Structure 1
């Protein structure tokens, strides 16, 4: 049987990253393809070994270097300050992949990956912001330049994560994109960028998490045992606008607020918001399944709101214009009003006014296109 190797973002203690990686692997398995994830550590993983070959396309600013350093320090600090929470959380993340995901040996550096004797029949670069020019590492591996020259090389839902790329980088992107045999991307902006850079058409596909049904996700979730209705608050960092909106919804509905945290660090006062800090991906799914309302700043937070059919609002920063992932998704499902910029007024009388049958119909067409792209790319 032919075997597929997938490279994507994995092992970063992030719900969306882990679940999108699992989703593509699981969908391919359901389609009858033997596959595994090539465990190339993302540069933000504490065990990743930087080297000159892995220098980023765009020189990392001092500000961003400091930001990455602070984030790594915060992860270590949170593990040190809350060792039991960190231990349980890591066990749950690791245990999820051990149970559900086939993963290769670990490649901790650019050189280790390129010197490996890989023998897959097809190589796939998976979803997430693997093509973001602002990533603080060499993104060439995510264009499958490590794969044998004559191998079948496919991109599935790879994302630039931005609405445009500086034309100064077009020649490099053109070389990388032309290395692929079959090209798809997750956002409408990505389709446009690829056309501008290469003159070729790419297929607009859905994030791999949408390739699995609600029932597929329910099969692997750990149910959250809570009888009272709750607002699920999935926000990456402290956000006063989001907090105030959560409190407004609480006053209107009487629901409690439960926050699923990015890591072990608490961000909200425990007397107002219940912080859950040690959940893994399966427990995260259980929280979504049981929620009555969702507030999120996360792209995958939006997607799981759609999958589990939960009334939701997605909040984006007022000061940034790189919301192409969220905008593309909301345009597909016709829920542009659910995408808020910080400071927007919200009519909470329309909180539950989402026609999920209509949403499913619109998503179904995109999901069919996406599955057909995979079928054609692999045969």
Structure 2
């Protein structure tokens, strides 16, 4: 069965690409024929390209263009519709899955209501691991977006904050919490491993880690005789930077890292996936996406605080056999949810 996927599939962002790549291949492995809805609203598209290309530094522009090319090459690995800014030009599907990723963060000005099911060309609509991101769990979802969410046949989210928002605003709607698709798919053999060894991997955005914490990380690396390597974004305080990697080179750096320090959701997911000792520095923007997940799986002690410091987090080993046991049931439940979408043959008419 052909199933459409609508998400942020084409952003120049490692997590965004790898989550859709993972969901796409999990659907394939379960016997479906996935196809990416190659759509993006014009204002969202313009905002992303402005962030990527608006710079007065020629070297930064050249690096970003190289990164753009690497991502576009990888995005061609997935079957997609023709690109369009207009939802009316999208083909019609019996089933569309919306998600994963932070598709429901309506606090962001460029957010598009199609991700809430409005104008989505599908007979049956489902979500997988959708997130409201930084929207407060106490918010009242705007009425027009709420009307769109009511048209979904099944809803699944990836964090407790999003679960609470759905339960508060749509109490009659069943909602389940599932794992991010990157934790369901086995990348074994697809990683491009680096020649670098004996390093602490840094994955963060510009200015997300305060200078005092940067200095603490530098001292930690010196103490343990490790090289500081940053991926994805250039960090001048790190010894080596690899900021134009393709997604498979990026996961190769995670696979081979000795330790990881990150502020990012998928930096944390891939640290867990490759069983790394890691430290997550929580930013206010990402607290909703990360804190409950880490706490739920007994990883609350991986969150940085000033009292513990980086040493206090990374010097305590993670019991990965115990964690795998905790994740096993959630992985199976997540796969079962996807199977239920594929096998749901009771198609009925819905307004789109």
TM-score by length of 1: 0.82
Q: Distance in 2 between the 1:125 and 1:268 partners?
A: 37
1:221 paired residue among 159, 167, 191: 191
1:283 aligns with 2:244: no
1:346 aligns with 2:309: yes
1:261 aligns with 2:232: yes
Contact 2:200–2:261 (Cα < 8 Å) also in 1: yes
Q: Distance in 1 between the 2:337 and 2:265 partners?
A: 22
- How many pairs align? 339
1:323 paired residue among 284, 287, 290: 287
Q: Distance in 2 between the 1:259 and 1:78 partners?
A: 22
Q: 1:179 to 1:268 in 2, by over 3 A?
A: same
2:202 paired residue among 215, 230, 233: 233
2:95 paired residue among 118, 122, 140: 122
Contact 1:90–1:280 (Cα < 8 Å) also in 2: no
Secondary structure of 1:323's partner?
helix
Contact 1:170–1:197 (Cα < 8 Å) also in 2: no
1:185 aligns with 2:157: yes
1:92-103 alignment, distance < 5 Å: 92-99=70-77, 101-103=78-80
1:248 aligns with 2:247: no
1:105 aligns with 2:82: yes
Q: Could you list the per-position Cα deviations for residues 220-276 of structure 1 after superposition, in whole angstroms to 9, with x for gaps in the alignment?
A: 1111112x31000101112224422321321321000000133xxx4414xx52111
Contact 1:127–1:159 (Cα < 8 Å) also in 2: yes
Contact 2:5–2:36 (Cα < 8 Å) also in 1: yes
Gaps of 5+ in 1: 49-67
Q: Could you list the per-position Cα deviations for residues 178-200 of structure 1 after superposition, in whole angstroms to 9, with x for gaps in the alignment?
A: 11011111111211211111112
Partner residue, 1:76: 54
Secondary structure of 1:316's partner?
coil
Contact 1:78–1:86 (Cα < 8 Å) also in 2: no
Q: Distance in 2 between the 1:301 and 1:12 partners?
A: 16
1:91 aligns with 2:63: no
List, as ranges, runs of 4+ consecutive aligned residues in structure 1 with deviation greater than 6 Å: none
Contact 1:161–1:324 (Cα < 8 Å) also in 2: yes
1:8 aligns with 2:17: no
Q: Distance in 1 between the 2:111 and 2:66 partners?
A: 32
1:364 paired residue among 322, 328, 344: 328
Contact 1:191–1:201 (Cα < 8 Å) also in 2: no
Partner residue, 2:148: 176
Partner residue, 1:131: 104
What's the C-alpha RMSD, in Å, of the aligned pairs? 2.4
Q: Distance in 2 between the 1:173 and 1:126 partners?
A: 16
Q: 1:6 to 1:32 in 2, by over 3 A?
A: same
Q: Distance in 2 between the 1:253 and 1:44 partners?
A: 46
Deviates more, 1:331-340 or 1:26-35: 331-340
2:259 paired residue among 293, 309, 319: 293
Gaps of 5+ in 2: 344-352
Contact 1:184–1:205 (Cα < 8 Å) also in 2: yes
Partner residue, 1:304: 270
Q: Distance in 1 between the 2:131 and 2:43 partners?
A: 18
